């Protein structure tokens, strides 16, 4: 992410060991904050609260208050980013085991890589789940500024906020139904379909009819469409290739492929959809569920762990190049009235 180079095995070993060491220094009060929340609180609430709680340890904040030269801001930002990335799998696994496995927590294994440790601490020690988690952590790490979580992290970071504040803001955006929460919505939609049809192996025609019924009722089909892409999301394709290689007969994977077969045509025929193709969320939850991670509310939190790689790397670049504060524009009522062609008689008489 920082150097534009694929790491060597020695690089991976060094980074994995560094993150495993840093992850063992999480301030205890971060867990106290999580435990103060009801278990019923959505995992993203607990996740975000813990991220903010850890900001007491910010290298950047201490360096800034000490009067560091701004050309050196990137250094404490790097240290803070490394700390935060290392700790996120521990926090996410803690929240998962707290809410869904009777608080039976599992310690970090320093011999494992970052994503492998996440699977391990969640309670999944098979190489198959670790392999899936590595894929999941890679495909959700994008940092392009047009998406809400990446842009928000940039925006808040541009005020010289520390990485904890900045990333927390991004996670608030990720939690929205039109962003990271979409993976959970996809699973809810697929589950309702199976419940209504009374089978986890519907016919393609049944899937087509259900999808059309969804649109006719004024609802959207989650997991389809993208603000920028005008083709099938490459991250969807990578995950589908993974599924076809390792679990092609899994019922949810078969269902996802059926949806992929019919929904783009249905959406295209409406004449209202610029991109009728699936995005990353259309399959990610089905993969997780097929490997035994069946608790839908944690999917967005796992998305957030991955997203840290991209957006926090960008924070280091922001401080290295001394990028200025962002100033998003705001509009008044008259601007909006003009856009819709509304004539205000009161304004004309002035």
DSSP letters spanning 187-252: HHHHHHHHHHHT-SS--HHHHHHHHHHHHHTT---TTB--SS-SS--HHHHHHHHHHHHH-TT-HH
**215 to 255, 266, 280, 307, 335: CA distances (angstroms):** 18, 9, 21, 31, 32
Supply φ then ψ for residue 224, to 5 degrees.
-125, 135
Active site (annotated) includes residue 179: yes
Active site (annotated) includes residue 226: yes
Note every long-range contact of 265-268, with CB atoms under 8 Å and residues 24 or more positions apart, other chains counting.
Answer: 266/208, 266/211, 266/212, 266/215, 266/221, 267/215, 267/221, 267/224, 267/225
Active site (annotated) includes residue 281: yes
Check residue 278 and report its DSSP letter: B
**Residue 183 exposure: Cα atoms within 13 Å on the Cβ side:** 26
DSSP letters spanning 69-120: -GGGTHHHHHHHHHHHHHHHHHHHHHHHHHHHSTT------TTS-HHHHHHH
Token pair recorded at residue 120: 């391990």
Of residues 140, 143, 154, 226, which has the active-site annotation?
226
Of residues 179, 200, 233, 318, which has the active-site annotation?
179
Of residues 83, 113, 233, 281, which has the active-site annotation?
281
Q: Could you list the active site residues?
A: 179, 226, 281
């Amino acid at each position: 992410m920082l150097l534009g180079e694929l790491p060597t095995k020695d690089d991976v070993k060094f980074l994995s060991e560094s993150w495993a060491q840093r992850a063992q220094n999480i301030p205890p009060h971060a867990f106290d904050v999580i435990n103060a929340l009801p278990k019923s609180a959505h995992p993203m609430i607990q996740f975000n609260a813990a991220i903010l709680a850890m900001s007491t340890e910010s290298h950047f904040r201490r360096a800034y208050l000490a009067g560091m030269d701004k050309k050196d801001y990137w250094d404490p930002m790097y240290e803070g980013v490394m700390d935060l990335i290392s700790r996120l799998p521990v926090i996410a696994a803690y929240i998962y085991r707290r809410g869904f496995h009777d608080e039976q927590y599992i310690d970090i294994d320093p011999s494992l890589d970052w994503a492998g440790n996440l699977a391990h601490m969640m309670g999944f020690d098979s190489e198959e789940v670790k392999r899936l988690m590595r894929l999941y952590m890679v495909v959700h790490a994008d940092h392009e500024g047009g998406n809400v979580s990446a842009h928000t992290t940039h925006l808040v970071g541009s005020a010289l906020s520390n990485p904890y504040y900045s990333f927390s803001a991004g996670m608030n955006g990720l939690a929205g139904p039109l962003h990271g929460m979409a993976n959970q919505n996809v699973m809810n939609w697929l589950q309702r379909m199976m419940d209504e049809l009374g089978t986890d192996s519907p016919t393609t025609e049944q899937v087509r009819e259900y999808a059309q019924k969804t649109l006719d009722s004024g609802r959207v089909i989650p997991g389809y469409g993208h603000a920028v892409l005008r083709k099938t999301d490459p991250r969807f394709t990578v995950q589908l290739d993974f599924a076809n290689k390792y679990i092609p007969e899994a019922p949810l994977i078969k269902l996802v492929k059926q949806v992929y077969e019919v929904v783009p045509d249905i959406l295209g025929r409406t004449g209202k959809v610029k991109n009728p193709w699936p995005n990353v969320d259309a399959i990610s939850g089905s993969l997780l569920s097929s490997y035994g991670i069946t608790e839908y509310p944690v999917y967005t939190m796992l998305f957030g762990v991955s997203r840290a790689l991209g957006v926090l790397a960008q924070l280091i670049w922001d401080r290295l190049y001394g990028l200025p504060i962002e100033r998003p524009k705001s509009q008044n009522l008259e601007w909006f009235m003009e856009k819709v062609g509304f004539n205000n008689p009161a304004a004309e008489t002035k």
